[in-house]
Every structure is written in structure tokens, then in C-alpha cells.
Amino acid sequence: MIITSCPLCSATSLRLVVDLGYHPLGDTFLPAEALNEPETRYPLRVFQCADCGHAFQQYVVPETERYQKIDYSYTAGNSPVSVKHFAEMAAEIVADQGVTADDLVVDIGGNDGTLLKAFRDQTSCRVLNVEPAGNIAKISQESGIDTHHGFFDATAAEKTSSLGGAKIITGTNVFNHINDLPTFIADIKNALTPDGAFVFEAPSLYELVKRLAFDTMYLEHVSFFGMKPLVRFFETLGLHVHRIEPSDYMGGSFRVYVKRQPGDPKVAQDFIALENEIGLYEEKTYEAFRAKVRKFRADLMRDLYEIKSKGGMIVGIGAATKGNTLLNYCGIDNGLLECVTDASPLKIGKFTPGSHLPIIPDADIPKDATHGVILAWNIGDFLKEKLKHLNLEFIVPHME
């Protein structure tokens, strides 16, 4: 579906942020049998509203295609980095919002329930996971987390309300995946208690531009949020930003607290001032951004070809979705990389979309490997420490 108007303000004056070519779904890792079938690619073009400043995908793939056609391959509980991050996030929200054992916490797209387990362990509160991926919802339910299999919609909101309403509704790397943002927020308002908070964590457009993190743009990410358009959007729906916490998780995110009650406007104003300092809502910023992205590709490809020409063997480290954007934009396949390694049992044995590189366990990295491209660069330090015994020369495409 082609988007011709801003999802937040409906304006039709749009300008290009970046065109990364045609990509398959980045978060859909392929079983071996899928390699014998056609693979659909979609335009990965991001535009910005010239009116409010919101950035978004020009082409939106249906949610059912993204999350329910092929088994989802990521579980947060498999990553020590994610487990630690979510425990800290739960503790912050509990302290800030006064969550008690009587309260209900709902996590939208809660995956295997890792965040909700942290809430429950810390407060003994009631929890509900709303998870659209069938295989992941089953894992969550079997681990003892009450789980609603489906998308967060009017039905899920009604279920939440029937439980007394949610004190907290969270969404980590979820809000930016939503097609219809006004309806989504309306459903959240219906599900929250009067003093409840919607707390979402999503990649920040500010950090994306600052870090040249173009590889965090993939088809599953429908929106790329700046604070300026978000404040305007929430206020039109009777909600207000109360707190903004920057985070390095996912390579540059922010955690935003939204409530019905007015908050201190300076919280958002200070963040918007940072955005304005780097020209986040100016066209010339993205002209420079596109030039840097093209240079990044040329420099990386030169380095990889030089390694291969000298007899080196290169592997990819971390089967991250962002890595698939990088691989497909640069045209990297098994002519340059032998394989990609990962620790997730749901990814091992599958293949990367588009580039069709086999995903193997870290323990099976070939002995002849000389270099490792860390595709999950947001946890680059963790991966380098984990694999230091292999004496690989690491390439960390951290963009700036």
C-alpha cells in the first residue's frame, strides 16, 4: 500500500529522506524450503512530512504479511542484553508510576513475555501480553504469562478494560510498526485507567540521523519518530508527553511516557531543541544524509573486497534485522560472506532474507574465518567480548 499523506497530520506535502532500493521483509528469516519459492521485494523509501515533520515508509506491507505468514524468529529472553534492559525498564516505570500488585500491566507485541516477567517479579502485578505472532504467543503463554494472541485492536482494548483497565501499557519497538496510528492510540486510551500511562520505546529519528543508522530503516518500521510531530499528534488526541528517556538500546531509541494529564511542556521542548540543532526537519539535512549513506556503502564494499582479494574469509556476526537492510542495500551475499552467526535457536538453521546467507551457531564459525562484520552493531561490544577467543578482526559498521 502506497502512503500519499502523512499518517500523523494527513498533509500531502512530502519530501524524500532516503531511497534504499527494493528489499524483502527484513525480520522474516527464511526456512530452507522457502529458498525454492519466489521472494517478494518492496520499495524501501522513507519520506518526511513537510508540514509536521513526521518520517515514514512510503510503502506499507500488511501487518499479517509481516508477522503471521512465517514463524517469527526473535525471542527477547534469549538475549542477556535484552533481559537486562527490560528489567531496568520495568524498574524505572514501577518507580515513576507507582505500579503495585493490584495493577494491570499490558505489553503490546510483548514477544515471549520477558518485560512482563520483570514487572511481575518486581511488583506481583497482573500482566497481559498482546502478541500477534502465533509461535511466539504460544511460548509466552506456556511460560506462564497471560497472552492474547492477536494485534492490539478494539478487541484487545475491550479485553483490557474488562480486567479493570491497564495502569501501564508498554510497547517496545512496536509503536513504530503500527499502520493506523490514530486508531491505535484511541484503542490505548480506551484500555488505560484514568491515571494510566502509555510507555513506548522506539528508535529515535534524531539518533538515526546523528548516527547515520540507515540500517535501522526496514519495512517493518513504518514510522521514524521525531518528538516535534509526536507532541502535536498526541495533543490532538488528548494526550501529553510526561517523560523522555534516551536509550542506546536498538542503536539509539527513546522511551516516552504519555498520559491524559498535562505534563511539564519543557520536557518535550528541550528534546525538540536538540532536534532543531541538527536540522532534523530541514530538507538539506537529508540531502547530506543520502550522500553519506552512499559513501558508507562504497567504503564498506571496498573494504570487504580488499579482504577477499587477500584471501580472507568473512562472516557476519548477529542475525539482526538491521543487518538485513545493510546486506541488501549493499548487495552483500555469499560471494563476500560465508554465513551469519547467531545465538537464537529460532534463527539458527534459517537463511537471511534477500542475501540467503545460512545462519549458524557461534560455535560453528569456520576455523578459517579471519574477519567478522558485526551486523548487530548496537551490541557490538558484547559480541566482540563474547567471540574474542576466535581472534577475528571485527568490522563494526556503526555509521558515525
On the question of pLDDT at 40 being above 60, the answer is yes
Residue 68 scores a pLDDT above 60: no
* Final residue of a structural domain among 248, 280, 312: 280
Q: What is the pLDDT of residues 150-198, one digit of tens each?
A: 999 999 999 999 999 999 999 999 999 999 999 999 999 999 999 999 9
What pLDDT sits at residue 80? 86
pLDDT of 398 higher than 60: yes
Same domain, 311 and 330: yes
**Are 324 and 227 found together in one domain?**
no
Residues 324 and 246 in one domain: no
Q: What one-character DSSP code corresponds to residue 216?
A: G
199 and 345 co-located in one domain? no
Domain range for 276 = 76-280
Report the C-alpha gap between 313 and 304 in whole angstroms.
10
Give pLDDT, residue 257.
98
| H or E element in which residue 294 lies | helix 283-309
Distances (CA, A) of 142 to 91, 137, 146: 24, 9, 9
Residues 212 and 231 in one domain: yes
Higher confidence at residue 332 or residue 252? 332
Residues 264 and 361 in one domain: no
Give residue 72's pLDDT: 65
Do residues 233 and 181 lie in contact, with contact meaning Cβ atoms separated by under 8 Å? yes
Q: Is pLDDT at 67 greater than 70 in this prediction?
A: no
Confidence at residue 66, expressed as pLDDT on a 0 to 100 scale: 66
Query: Does one domain contain both 290 and 219?
Result: no
Residue located via cell numbers 540531502: 287
> Do 193 and 310 fall within a single domain?
no
Give the three cell numbers for residue 49.
Answer: 512530512
Which pLDDT score, from 0 to 100, does residue 119 have?
98
Prediction pTM value: 0.92
User: Same domain, yes or no, for 213 and 269?
Assistant: yes
Q: Which amino acid is at 49?
A: C
pLDDT of 81: 84
Query: Domain for residue 93, yes or no?
Result: yes
pLDDT of residue 75 exceeding 60, the answer is yes
CATH number (domain holding residue 327):
3.40.50.720
Amino acid at 233: F
Predicted local distance difference test score (pLDDT) of residue 223: 97
Contacts of 12 (CB under 8 A, 6+ apart): 4, 5, 6
Instruction: Indicate which CATH number applies to the domain containing 143.
Output: 3.40.50.150
Residue finishing a domain among 240, 264, 280: 280
Q: Which of 264, 280, 296 is the last residue of a domain?
A: 280
pLDDT of residue 76: 80
Number of domains in the chain: 2
Question: What does the alpha-carbon distance between residue 232 and residue 161 come to, in Å, rounded to a whole number?
Answer: 27
Whether residue 222 sits in one domain with residue 135? yes
- pLDDT classification of 399: cutoffs 50, 70, 90: low
Give a yes or no: residue 65 inside a domain.
Answer: no
Average pLDDT of every residue of the chain: 94
Percentage of the chain beyond pLDDT 70 is 97
Residue 59: is it exposed, middle or buried by C-beta count within 10 angstroms (0-12/13-18/19+)? middle
Mean predicted confidence (pLDDT) in 125-130: 98
Decide if 56 is inside a domain: no
pLDDT over 80 (residue 252): yes
pLDDT of residue 400: 45
Task: Give the least confident one: 35-44, 176-185, 244-253, 270-279.
Answer: 244-253
pLDDT value at position 251?
A: 76
Q: Is the pLDDT of residue 43 over 70?
A: yes
pLDDT at 142: 95
For 195-233, the pLDDT digits (tens) are 999 999 999 999 999 999 999 999 999 999 999 999 999
